[in-house]
Amino acid sequence: MDLMKLYDRLYGFFGPQHWWPGDSPLEIMIGAVLTQNTNWQNVEKAISNLKEARLMDLESLYNVPAQSLAEYIRPAGYYNIKSVRLKHLIVFVKENYGSIEKMFEEETEILREKLLAVKGLGPETVDSILLYAGNKPIFVVDAYTKRIFSRHNLCFEDVDYHELQSEIMASLPKDLDLYNEFHALIVRLGKDYCKKRNPLCEKCPINGF
DNA sequence: CTCCAGGGGGCCA
DNA sequence: TGGCCCCATGGA
């Protein structure tokens, strides 16, 4: 599959998507957990609450009780599990590295395995953190990627996460900005043209792939 | 009213 | 391992 051609068409059609919105690597990491199966608008409300409460730093998040944290992130939904997941992530960073900057100095594949071992962080959340918070050239696969690729016969519907990720990364140059923009464009395409409800989309801008 | 969003974990045969 | 359920707010 010629994914560069696909990328060029998406970029030409939609233009740059300006991902990931966030003022700091910490905020991006928090957002990555909060957005699990959740609309980004709701995540923004939760992040806004955390900023107002002056909790958007490693030390404060480390010290705030999970139960209290849950109240601030309530608008993001699943607030009880997500508060625990955030605490797991914060504890992982603070007790193993001391800072987010130090954490990202670790070799990427090693870090990736360690993050995957943190309860509440799955492959998509971990890869989003590595790419958008850590600036590591890791391609993020998500439900949109699988839906779009399978509908255009680029993969099977129930393809394994890592398998699809490997195939995509093998057919693209290892480029941070490319991975960053490509994933954002796929999400945009999914939202606008490749919804669950309209499997037959004659207007899809990537018809022909 | 129904659907679903920038997922992941737990349980049980 | 496969199937199923749980988490939960808010916008369309």
Query: Distance between alpha carbon A80 and the CA centroid of its chain, in Å?
Result: 20
Mean pLDDT of A83-96: 98
Are residues A39 and A77 both part of a single domain? yes
> Which residue's structure tokens are 């609309």?
A39
Asked whether residue A205 is domain-assigned, the answer is no
Are residues A39 and A73 both part of a single domain? yes
Residue A48 maps to which CATH number? 1.10.340.30
Asked whether residue A204 is domain-assigned, the answer is no
A122 is near strand B: CB distance < 7 Å? yes
A5 is near strand B: CB distance < 7 Å? no
The domain in which residue A122 lies consists of 25-133
What is residue A131's predicted lDDT score, i.e. its pLDDT?
A: 98
For all residues of chain A together, what is the average pLDDT?
Answer: 96
Structural domain count of chain A: 2
Are residues A74 and A122 both part of a single domain? yes
Residue A89: name the closest of A9, A19, A33, A20 by CA. A33
Reported pTM: 0.97
What is residue A197's predicted lDDT score, i.e. its pLDDT?
A: 81
* Angstrom distance (rounded) from CA A3 to CA A93: 35
A19 is near strand B: CB distance < 7 Å? yes
What is residue A1's predicted lDDT score, i.e. its pLDDT?
A: 67
Q: How confident is the model at residue A209 (pLDDT cuts 50, 70, 90)?
A: confident
A16: CB partners within 8 A, 6+ apart = A181
Asked whether residue A124 is domain-assigned, the answer is yes
Nucleotides of chain B in contact with protein CB (under 7 A) are: 3-10
Residue A47: name the closest of A7, A16, A20 by CA. A20
Are residues A178 and A124 both part of a single domain? no
